[in-house]
Structure 1
Amino acid sequence: MTEKLRRGVADDTASRRPAGPDAGVTRLGLCSVTFRRLPAAEVARCAADAGLEVVEWGADVHAPPGEPGTVRAVREVSDRYELACCSYGSYFRATPGELAEFPAVAQAAVLLGAPRVRVWAGGTGSRATSPDERHTTVACLREAGRIAADHGLELAPEFHQGTLTDTVASTVQLLDEVGADNVRTYWQPPLDVPDEEALSGLAELGDRVTAVHAFSWWPGNTRLRLAEREALWAAALRLLNGRRVEALLEFVPGDDPTVLAREAATLRRAAAQRPIHQR
């Protein structure tokens, strides 16, 4: 482990608490799952070349929780390219069978220097989930949130169909049921929902949003250039004005790393009406 990395790990707890003039800025970044087929060093290089400042490292390929050596190497890659790890993209679905494995997830997030673990709120949509199943998922998220807090981490489920955060109403209910200060939520535009309706949902979630996944899909999961929904993202970032959140590019057209700089430029343009932290 490099001396820089030793210092970084020692300072992680303090650095997770936003303070000072940057406490209310939105940082622009990349989800590493966008380029699953690329090695972590290439993902980091692409993000840095595109002028992004943070990465959400995924647990599925780049930083598996059971491989601390790999996770440390990813942290070193981030440091080399002067990228912060804003979150650890886990695939913990808050089932009882997974709870025993969550401490390893939290430990991996700490090794990465991430302030947050992204999780999933169960494996079925809110309408298809029975009250008993919902209660179980809530209890698992509450326990995972407690473990996360013990590691100085925030927990945040992805705002995604097929989970208990598939609607704004269910997400608000879930967060109320979990009842933990360190459990917040992601947001992304729901599939096939008009811009006005999507933005209304983001406004309703308000301060409970900790990060957004930025992409341009329409209709369904047809991938468009971010510029084709730039008005949506400009409005979304205005709604987030003054909050410490991240806007993370995810799933660019064709999974093509050569378009990342273009997509990042569009995201910066959409954010230009509000103060953002410059690298």
Structure 2
Amino acid sequence: MTEYAPTGHRLGLCSVTFRHLTADEVARRAADAGLEAVEWGADVHAPPQDPDAVRAVRAATERAGLVCCSYGSYFRADPGESASFPALARAAVLLGAPRMRVWAGRSGSRETGSSERRGTAARLREAALIAADHGVELSLEFHTGTLTDTVASTLRLLEEADAPNLRTYWQPPLDSPDDEALAGLAALADRVSAVHVFSWWPGNHRLPLAARDELWTGVFDLLRARGLRPDALLEFVPDNDPAVLSREAGTLRRAAADGPARPAHPADAGARARSPRRGT
């Protein structure tokens, strides 16, 4: 395997990127691309109701010389869903995952009433307590159609849940120009455990990561200026094509690499940056 210089960030892959591949193949390709970690999804590769499959995924990870950085669960803190969480926490431990990714409901912050919001926060708090008993951290998916659809709502929810082991992911919101995306990250950065890395523009049209190189250079400059090193996980690639993973991982590695000291990104000072390039 080719040796790569460390970046300061743990670079990895979300297994949902290649749902159509076996866990062994996902792990092998991630290792061949010089990545260090995998976030395994509960939907296909590591279902919580199948402990033998979870053990096999852990074994595949270790054979490839990788670590499991997180367990991508689809727990949404819905009413009646709390009973399913202990099994997810046990699966995370079996997988060797120090973190679980969870979702904040099924409706956006503008569509969610105050009572429903309080219930979601309470269920997240309860889940965080169970996770803590298993030695696991929780992190919220930062996503439209949930209570983490804006930075302000995400920060509010973290305060409402009031759990020390609850943090959040970050990813560039759909159709957000670079300056808006980076300003959001600047506001949320201290609570971010991991970044989902992709280049979509417009909408969910998948571009090579390099098509938004200014965004991703800005992301890592901002994090570096804050002294933060969250995991950086490739999530989805153009055409779901495993053949492009090494190229995308190389782009990520270059963006994340420590280099000569550079000034903090303008987003950290509230100034405007350039909009993303729209080319491929």
TM-score by length of 1: 0.89
> Is 1:256 the counterpart of 2:241 in the alignment?
yes
Report the secondary structure of 1:66's partner residue.
Answer: coil
Deviation for aligned residue 1:231: 1.2
Task: Report the Cα distance in structure 2 between the residues aligned to 1:221 and 1:90, rounded to whole angstroms.
Answer: 22
Identity %: 70
Report the secondary structure of 1:211's partner residue.
Answer: strand
Task: Report the Cα distance in structure 1 between the residues aligned to 2:259 and 2:134, rounded to whole angstroms.
Answer: 32
What CA deviation, in whole Å up to 9, does each residue of 1:118-162 have, x standing for no partner? 000000000000111101100110000000111011101100000
> Is 1:104 the counterpart of 2:82 in the alignment?
no
Taking a change above 3 Å as real, the CA distance of residues 116 and 274 of structure 1, as seen in their structure-2 partners, is farther
Partner of 1:182: 165
Deviation for aligned residue 1:180: 1.0
Partner of 1:221: 204
Partner of 1:212: 195
Aligned partner of 1:70 among 29, 43, 53: 53
Taking a change above 3 Å as real, the CA distance of residues 196 and 87 of structure 1, as seen in their structure-2 partners, is same
Partner of 2:273: none
Task: Report the Cα distance in structure 2 between the residues aligned to 1:36 and 1:174, rounded to whole angstroms.
Answer: 30
Task: Report the Cα distance in structure 2 between the residues aligned to 1:140 and 1:53, rounded to whole angstroms.
Answer: 32
Task: Report the Cα distance in structure 1 between the residues aligned to 2:68 and 2:35, rounded to whole angstroms.
Answer: 11
8 Å Cα contact 2:8-2:257 kept in structure 1 = no
8 Å Cα contact 1:27-1:245 kept in structure 2 = yes
- AA in 1 matched with 2:44: V
* Higher relative contact order (Cα pairs below 8 Å, separated by 6+ residues): 1
Deviation for aligned residue 1:63: 0.1
Report the secondary structure of 2:252's partner residue.
Answer: helix
Task: Report the Cα distance in structure 2 between the residues aligned to 1:132 and 1:186, rounded to whole angstroms.
Answer: 25
Q: Which runs of no fewer than 5 residues in structure 2 stay unpaired?
A: 1-5, 261-280
8 Å Cα contact 2:8-2:258 kept in structure 1 = no
Aligned partner of 2:177 among 190, 194, 199: 194
Choose 38-47 or 233-242, whichever is displaced more. 233-242
Report the secondary structure of 1:97's partner residue.
Answer: coil
- AA in 2 matched with 1:245: P
> Is 1:115 the counterpart of 2:98 in the alignment?
yes
Partner of 1:141: 124
Give the aligned CA root-mean-square deviation in angstroms.
Answer: 1.4
8 Å Cα contact 1:115-1:152 kept in structure 2 = yes
Deviation for aligned residue 1:274: 5.3
Report the secondary structure of 2:11's partner residue.
Answer: strand
Report the secondary structure of 1:186's partner residue.
Answer: strand
> Is 1:48 the counterpart of 2:28 in the alignment?
no
What CA deviation, in whole Å up to 9, does each residue of 1:165-224 have, x standing for no partner? 000000000001011110000000000011011001101012100001000000000000
Aligned partner of 2:231 among 242, 246, 250: 246
Partner of 1:267: 252
How many residues align structurally? 253
Taking a change above 3 Å as real, the CA distance of residues 268 and 151 of structure 1, as seen in their structure-2 partners, is same
TM-score by length of 2: 0.88
Report the secondary structure of 1:185's partner residue.
Answer: strand
Task: Report the Cα distance in structure 1 between the residues aligned to 2:235 and 2:154, rounded to whole angstroms.
Answer: 21
Q: Which runs of no fewer than 5 residues in structure 1 stay unpaired?
A: 1-21
8 Å Cα contact 1:125-1:161 kept in structure 2 = yes
